[in-house]
Amino acid sequence: MAPSPIADGMRRRRSQPSVTDSAPTKRELLRLIEAAASVADHGSLRPWRLIALRGAARERLGDALVESAGLEGKAAASLARKPLRAPLLIAIVVSPKPSHKVPEWEQEAVAAGVGHALSLVLDEAGWGVMWRTGGHTRSEAVHRMHGLEPQERLLGWLYVGGRETKGKSGRRKAVNAKDLLSSLK
């Protein structure tokens, strides 16, 4: 079997917890989203949407995280700074569509697939990316800050910025695929 550039890119991809202040433009981002949107989507419902947070929107997210956590003082200040770790955050939102054929869990899987695919194409385009989640994704304050509809759910944020040239290679423990694949007879 010939080497696959897609598989090679997926093997190379590593989360980039630290990025520079550069970020893709809206135009660049739209092109990458078009590619990521090709994930399997039963019924072509597109049960997802993305929200770009730049500049002051990241500060408002920090305030919502603090409100969600009920923190004060140094702990609150530390939490409020977390969204400032990257110049661009992309919120991944499940936006379920009514369907008698496609259950909601499958629609959430599509949204997660888009988020993962977007992280891969951003990485391949040379950007540093890290998907961040946590308990705050389902809090009322964070939900309100993003302007989500009542049925929508936040899956997390892709933190995106320029790749730092120095630092750890992000080596990952090798996966033994034989341990993860079984067959029914």
Predicted confidence pLDDT, tens digits, the chain (185 residues) = 777 777 777 777 788 889 999 999 999 999 999 999 999 999 999 999 999 999 999 999 999 999 999 999 999 999 999 999 999 999 999 999 999 999 999 999 999 999 999 999 999 999 999 999 999 999 999 999 999 999 999 999 999 999 987 555 566 788 898 999 999 99
HSE value, Cβ hemisphere, 13 Å, CA-based, for 18: 7
Q: Which residues of 128-160 are buried (b: 16+ CB within 10 A; e: fewer)?
A: bbbbbeeebbebebbbebbebeeebbbbbbbbb
| CATH superfamily of this structure's domain 15-54+85-164 | NADH Oxidase (3.40.109.10)
Cβ neighbours for 33, distance < 8 A, ≥ 6 positions apart:
50, 118
Residue 99: φ, ψ to 5°: -160, 130
pLDDT at 153: 97
Report the alpha-carbon distance of residue 157 to residue 93 in Å, rounded. 9
Residue 170's pLDDT is 60
Confidence (pLDDT) at 171: 65
pLDDT on residue 169: 53
CB atoms within 10 A of CB 24: 21
Q: In the chain, what are the domain boundaries? A: 15-54+85-164
Give 136's contacts (C-beta < 8 A, 6+ positions apart). 64, 65, 68, 69, 142
pLDDT attached to residue 166: 59
